[in-house]
Amino acid sequence: MISLAELSREIDHLDPIPVSQPRLAQVVADPTADLQQIVTIIEYDPALTSNTLRMANSAYFSPGTRVHSVKEAVQRLGAGRILQHAVGHGIRGRLIAACPGYDLVEHELWRHSVAAALAAEQLSLYAKTRIHPVAFTAALLHDIGKFLLSRHLTDDLKAEITELEQNGRLPYVEAERTILGFDHAQVGGVIARRWNFPDVLVEAIAHHHHPHHPHLGDGDHTALDAVHIGNTVAKIIGIGIGSEEMNMLADSRAARGLGLTPTTLEALCAAVAIELPAVVALFEEEEHGVQHSDR
Amino acid sequence: MTGRRLVVGVGDMKLSTRAGDILVTHALGSCIGIAIYDPVAVVGGLLHFMLPDSSVNPQRSVENPWMFADVAIPLLFKKSYELGADKRRIVVKVAGGAQFLDDKEFFAIGKRNHTMMRKIFWQNGILIKGEQVGGTSSRTMYLEIGTGRVWLTTGGKETPL
pLDDT digits (tens, 9 = 90+) for A11-69: 888 888 899 999 999 999 998 999 999 999 999 999 999 999 999 998 888 877 899 99
Can you tell me the distance from the alpha carbon of A224 to that of A259, in angstroms, rounded to the nearest whole number? 15
pLDDT in tens, A114-125: 999 999 999 999
Q: Please answer yes or no on whether B137 and A249 come within 8 Å at the CB atom.
A: no
Nearest CA in chain B to A104: B27
pLDDT in tens, A85-112: 999 988 998 999 999 999 999 999 999 9
Can you tell me the distance from the alpha carbon of A225 to that of A139, in angstroms, rounded to the nearest whole number? 10
Can you tell me the distance from the alpha carbon of A36 to that of A45, in angstroms, rounded to the nearest whole number? 15
**B102 contacts B65 by C-beta, under 8 angstroms:** no
Can you tell me the distance from the alpha carbon of B102 to that of B122, in angstroms, rounded to the nearest whole number? 27
Q: In B, which residues are within 8 Å of A238 by CB distance?
A: 10, 27-29, 31, 48, 50
Q: Which of B50, B103, B110 faces A237 most closely, judged by CB atoms?
A: B50
* pLDDT, averaged across chain A: 91
**A238 contacts B10 by C-beta, under 8 angstroms:** yes
Q: Please check the confidence at residue A160 and state whether its pLDDT lies above 80.
A: yes
What lies within 8 Å, CB to CB, of A261 at 6+ separation is none
Residues above pLDDT 90, as percent of chain A: 80
Average pLDDT over residues B54-81: 91
pLDDT in tens, B91-140: 999 999 999 998 789 999 999 999 999 999 999 999 999 999 999 999 99
Q: Please answer yes or no on whether A262 and B106 come within 8 Å at the CB atom.
A: yes
Residue A294: predicted pLDDT: 33
Nearest CA in chain B to A126: B56
The count of residues in chain B is 161
Q: Please check the confidence at residue A288 and state whether its pLDDT lies above 80.
A: no
pLDDT in tens, B21-34: 999 999 999 999 99
Residue A272: predicted pLDDT: 95
HSE-up (13 A, CA, CB side) for residue A148: 31
Average pLDDT over residues A66-82: 94
Average pLDDT over residues B81-96: 98
Lowest mean pLDDT among A57-61, A75-79, A241-245: A57-61
Q: Please answer yes or no on whether A251 and B103 come within 8 Å at the CB atom.
A: yes
Q: Which of A162, A250, A263 faces B56 most closely, judged by CB atoms?
A: A263
SS3 string, B6-36, reads EEECCCEEEEECCCCCEEEEEEECCCEEEEE
A120 — contact with chain B (CB < 8 Å)? no
* pLDDT, averaged across chain B: 95
Can you tell me the distance from the alpha carbon of B6 to that of B48, in angstroms, rounded to the nearest whole number? 13
Question: For residue A184, which amino acid is it?
Answer: H
Q: Please answer yes or no on whether A245 and B11 come within 8 Å at the CB atom.
A: no
Q: Which of B29, B108, B110 faces A241 most closely, judged by CB atoms?
A: B29
Residue A62 Cα to chain centre, angstroms? 24
pLDDT in tens, A166-184: 888 899 999 999 999 999 9
Q: Is B20 left (phi over 0), alpha (psi -120 to 50) or beta?
A: left
pLDDT in tens, B147-157: 999 999 998 89
Residue A289: predicted pLDDT: 55
Residue A290: predicted pLDDT: 46
Can you tell me the distance from the alpha carbon of A113 to that of A107, in angstroms, rounded to the nearest whole number? 10
For the CA atoms of A149, A230, B30, A247, the dihedral, rounded to the nearest 10 degrees, stands at 40
Alpha helices in chain A (DSSP H): 4-13, 20-29, 35-43, 46-56, 70-77, 79-95, 108-122, 135-141, 144-150, 155-168, 172-180, 184-194, 199-206, 222-236, 252-257, 262-287
Q: Which of A162, A250, A271 faces B57 most closely, judged by CB atoms?
A: A271
